[in-house]
Amino acid sequence: MLQQIILPKQPLWIFAYGSLMWNPGFTYAEKQTVRIYGHHRALCVWSWHYRGSREQPGLVFGLDQGGSCVGKAFRIKAKDQKEVLQYLYAREMITQVYRPSLVTIHLVTEDEIQALTFVVDRRHPQYAGHLHHDILLQTIQRAHGSRGPNHEYVRNTLDHLKSIGYQDRQLQRLGMPKSVPDL
């Protein structure tokens, strides 16, 4: 599975836009706040495992077509690359809803480099597309998966974005409280 994409020569960077930003789960040598163009962060993936179930799907972020996205980039040491890639593929490719892809990240130094990320596959059955605000909110409030409540995932992402000085207006419109009562 690791051969699906030809990785750039050293160093390997990983672009994170959802839970990998605040819970990478792997060793890295450096992290930076970066931006990519051509994709945007969207709650467009039905979650059947981590933040929901088949009976009560949750929603998680995917990189969808168009726009731009602020996130975190992690530089991986050469000695850790194989282990990190195996971990990421096991975590992100559990149902094959994402396509491993190389994107150009724009570093604070204004350098542009290639980074590995996971872009949503719009042909996959878990692709939710653009959902109405009320459906997003209702789904996030009710869903719960193996990694916890869906609302915690969304809140943690929103809080992390605020901590790096980025305001995501679409997420803020969801009005996610610190905790959501059971419905």
Residue numbers annotated as active site: 92
Is 145 in contact with 50 (CB distance < 8 Å)? yes
Judge contact between 86 and 178, C-beta under 8 A.
no
- Taking the C-alpha atoms of residue 143 and residue 145, their distance in angstroms, rounded to an integer, is 7
DSSP 133-164: HHHHHHHHHH-EETTEEHHHHHHHHHHHHHHT
Residue 55 and residue 17 in contact, taking contact as beta carbons nearer than 8 Å:
no
Query: Which ranges constitute the DSSP H helices of 43-178?
Result: 81-92, 133-142, 150-163, 169-173
Closest listed residue to residue 71, CA positions, set 155, 153, 15: 15
**CA angle in degrees (0–180, nearest 5) for 17-12-114:** 65
